[in-house]
Amino acid sequence: MKRLFSILFIFSLLGFLISGDYQDSFERYYALGDSLTAGFQNGGLVDYYQQVSFPALIAKQAGVEDFALPLVSPPGIPPLLKLEVDQSGNFSIVPSSSNYGHPENLYYQGIYNNLGVPGATTEDFINTVSDNGGFHDLILRGMGTQLQLAVVAHPTLITLWIGNNDVLGALTSGKVIEGVTIVPVSVFRYNMETIVGALKTQTNAKIVMITIPQVSLIPFSTYIKPYIEVQGQKVYLIGPHGRLTDNDLVLLTAQTYISQGYGIPSQYGGTGLPLPDEVVVDSHERSIIEKRVSNFNSIIKDLGSEYDITVLDINDLLKKAATEGLIVGGVRLTSQYLTGGLFSLDGVHPSTIGYALIANEIIKLMNERFDWEIPLVNIGDFLWSSPRPSMAGKHLEVKVKGIEAIRR
């Protein structure tokens, strides 16, 4: 009988140790990256969305009690976007306020666990400490670059999602300018090798990397078609170089121009004037952007293999959302703008549900790779409700100068 109790005790102890493995790894979990890591949503950064960023959700599922965030008070920085619909059913996306939110946790004694900096590129990740009152100052607070802080924090676990802004600018600006709006492949490779090499050699953390979404699949570039339909026939819009084709992208920012008749041939009620270049990505530019994303992702995957780092290819999820949709709790979610449920009003960043699904993809991958048993986020918690602004606590009356000049 004593032997039986001894065996049961040993198995119980082993079970405790195994179940505690991921808690040990989450002792110092730091999330590195850009706006997708920060929890940027509806065009801004705000506390109630930051608290459901994918890193915050993962930390919560792992039982982390103190996951420090660079919280911003409502209405956000910049103020969040809102949807307005007039009596005719026409809608517009406008800022929810003319005021800006302010930092709520600026004097936190330590390094934030979520170090994602909206607008950050791989170059910023390595070299930028301050940006004259922008998001780097809000989140890094002059303590070092994102890479430096990641090293000195002695992390036990890292999620790394960087590189999106190395290509996104070419899409959102409608202009592919090598070395300006889009980063050359050689530069991206050097930057990523520097980042991954430092994190692997200067920390003992487990690392999970995420690939770059194919930006031609996001609502910002898919919502507006390159044509209008007249009596069941396609009438292609007029772009800066003539009639558009099915392979051209008309950006979400073209909506105002189209509502004024730009791009629509005069015989169909438009002005006959072309859409400006900055709201159109032609087929040639699109090809360059898509190939660059593929090149960048190949580099990320190669580094994952070289350094034995777990890599999540987020494009599998994005492609499925864009084609057949994702069934969650009997509800079909897609990447369709406004109605799909997976993207926020800015057309670039995920909704809360989108971030929760990303968190679950990362959790599933970590459970598989590290033999953990972290419970998944219950997506049903977000299907019929959304986070609400926090009304508790006094906000620090600290203004970050020049914050309106930050990049997306």
CATH code, domain carrying 77: 3.40.50.1110
78 belongs to a structural domain = yes
d(CA 210, CA 247): 27
* 365 and 258 belong to one structural domain: no
Handedness of CA 336, 342, 343, 345 (dihedral sign): positive
pLDDT computed for residue 88 by the predictor? 73
Bridge-based pairing state of the strands 310-312 and 206-210: parallel
Beta strands in 231-275 (DSSP E): 233-236, 238-239, 242-243, 249-250
Contact predicate 226/250, CB 8 Å:
yes
Looking at 209, 243, 278, which one is the last position of a domain? 278
Q: Looking at the domain assignment, is residue 214 inside a domain?
A: yes
Query: Are 71 and 133 in the same domain?
Result: yes
pLDDT (tens digit per residue) in 111-152: 999 999 999 999 999 999 999 999 999 999 999 999 999 999
**Whether residue 245 sits in one domain with residue 104:** no
pLDDT at site 11: 38
Q: Supply the range of the domain harboring residue 143.
A: 23-222+284-405
**Residues 189, 19: Cα–Cα separation, whole Å:** 37
Q: Are 205 and 237 in the same domain? A: no
Look up the pTM and report it.
Answer: 0.89
d(CA 107, CA 320): 42
18 inside domain: no
Q: Are residues 259 and 297 in the same domain?
A: no
Comparing CA positions, the residue from 379, 362, 312 lying closest to residue 62 is: 362
The contacts found for 335-342 with CB under 8 angstroms, 24 or more apart, are 335/217, 335/218, 335/219, 335/222, 336/219, 336/223, 337/219, 337/222, 337/223, 337/252, 338/83, 338/91, 338/223, 340/219
Taking 70 as the pLDDT cut, the residues of the chain under it are 1-20, 385-386, 388-408
DSSP 143: S
Kindly state whether residues 349 and 213 are assigned to the same domain.
yes
Same domain, yes or no, for 108 and 44?
yes
The burial class, CB within 10 Å (0-12 / 13-18 / 19+), for 395 is middle
Q: Answer yes or no: is 264 within a domain.
A: yes
Q: Does some domain include residue 7?
A: no
Using CA atoms, how far residue 254 sits from 90, 188, 224, 399, in Å, is: 15, 30, 8, 33
The structure tokens listed for 380 are: 């049903």
Into how many domains does the chain fold? 2
What does R_g of the chain's alpha carbons equal in angstroms?
A: 23
204 and 117 co-located in one domain: yes
Alpha-carbon torsion (181, 187, 193, 194), positive or negative: negative
374 and 389 in a single domain? The answer is: yes
Type of residue at 100: Y
The domain boundary residue, chosen from 278, 298, 321: 278
DSSP summary character for residue 6:
H
Q: Is the domain of 288 the same as that of 274?
A: no
pLDDT digits (tens, 9 = 90+) for 346-393: 999 999 999 999 999 999 999 999 999 999 999 999 887 667 654 333
Q: Which of 244, 261, 278 is the C-terminal boundary of a domain?
A: 278
Claim to verify: residue 71 and residue 118 sit in the same structural domain = yes
Q: Looking at residue 147, what is its pLDDT?
A: 98
Name the DSSP letter for residue 328.
E
Residue 176 resides in a domain: yes
155 and 59 in a common domain:
yes
Q: How many CB atoms lie within 10 A of CB 280?
A: 28
Domain annotation covers residue 8: no
Q: Are the CB atoms for 62 and 22 separated by under 8 Å?
A: yes
